[in-house]
Structure 1
Amino acid sequence: MKRFSGLLSAAALAAGLALAAAPAMAQQQLPPMPKVKQSTPAAIAAAKEILTMKNVAVMYSGAVPGIIEKTKTGLLQQYLNYQKDLDEVAVIVAKQFAGSEKEIGDGMAQIYAAEFTEQELKDLVTFYKTPLGQKLLTAEPTAINGSLQYMQQWAQQFGVIVNGQFKAEMKKRGKDI
């Protein structure tokens, strides 16, 4: 079961924003990645174990192919007559960078290890192995997905109320909108 499939919509939004900027960023100097506090190898290993138990790799597993496709599409808009070549080059580039998304997981583990002490991470690993921890790993994505859906529905309904209030206030001013 893909434990974090419920988070894919949020992750897709973030990835979409990143992917949309990929062709433009390729033409400019990129800022360095943010520095993360150095942690012990044991803390990083525990963080990786937690991330594996949470199956977060599903959130970024398509990052490399997605960025390659988005870059190819951006280049095609500029060089339409090179479609065949760009299609062929995309395959070469995909093979060259296959597995690069592992860097995302390593970076996430570094961030977790910087936010929690080594002992806290070990305690979390222990917790996630308990029946309640296993239930959390299984049920949390559903709860998060349901919460996201609820927030979207609430925002839609609230938007209708706010729109009605705008119309009422404008009507008081003699302006029907």
Structure 2
Amino acid sequence: MKIKLLIAALLFCVAARAQTTPNITPAHLQTAEDLLRTIHADSLFKQNMSVMLQQASTNIPEDKRTKFIEVMNTFIAKYVSWDQLKDQLAVTYAKEFTVAEIKGLITFYNTPLGKKLLLKQPVLVAKGAALGQQMVQSHQVELQQMMEEAFKDSK
């Protein structure tokens, strides 16, 4: 199930990359790129992908886990790397925020609280992922029954 979620997340990233760019000014795009540099989005992206991969690998038999992680890392490096996504992510920020808003975010992330948030972000993501995993696992039997019921007629 986790492998399917990881693959779905990867497909979402690839689909986002394929979207066309609206009329965003070069200055707006540059400001969005400045924000990505300010928040160290490249290292956050890599850390978050690592957390997702570690979470997904917990359902893989231990004797196959190392190979699974190796294959997924190769796939991610080839198709879902930061270099492949950063431009589209900058476009995404530019679509969602005005230049003034992005500058406000940059200002915030340069404050002590903003810097602390950036430092804590990987920990928060990992803990959030673990909480979500625990919630699903604690209700796994019910989820399985719901899935079986939902797909019973499609057999």
- After superposition, where does 1:22-171 map in structure 2 within 5 Å? 33-58=18-43, 59=45, 66-67=74-75, 102-160=83-141, 162=142
Count of equivalent residues: 113
Q: Is the 1:36–1:110 Cα contact (8 Å) retained in structure 2?
A: yes
In our comparison, the structure showing a higher alpha carbon Rg is: 1
Which string of whole-angstrom CA distances, capped at 9 and with x for unpartnered residues, describes residues 147-174 of structure 1?
11001011101124x279x6xxxxxxxx
The one-letter amino acid of 1:40's match is T
TM-align CA RMSD: 4.0
CA distance in 2 between counterparts of 1:155 and 1:68 reads 25
Q: Is the 2:32–2:102 Cα contact (8 Å) retained in structure 1?
A: yes
Which string of whole-angstrom CA distances, capped at 9 and with x for unpartnered residues, describes residues 43-77 of structure 1?
21221122223333243699xx8349879xxxxxx
The one-letter amino acid of 1:35's match is T
CA distance in 2 between counterparts of 1:112 and 1:150 reads 28
CA distance 1:70–1:15, shift in 2 (3 Å): farther
The correspondence for 1:13, drawn from 2, 6, 9, is 6
Q: Is the 2:39–2:109 Cα contact (8 Å) retained in structure 1?
A: no
Query: Normalized per residue, which structure has more helix?
Result: 2
Q: Is the 1:36–1:114 Cα contact (8 Å) retained in structure 2?
A: no
Shift of 1:116: 0.6
Q: Secondary structure at the match of 1:37?
A: coil
Give unmatched runs, 5+ long, in structure 1: 1-8, 22-31, 72-99, 167-177
CA distance in 1 between counterparts of 2:82 and 2:131 reads 31
TM, length-normalised to structure 1: 0.50
Give runs of ≥4 in structure 1 deviating > 4 Å: 14-18, 67-71
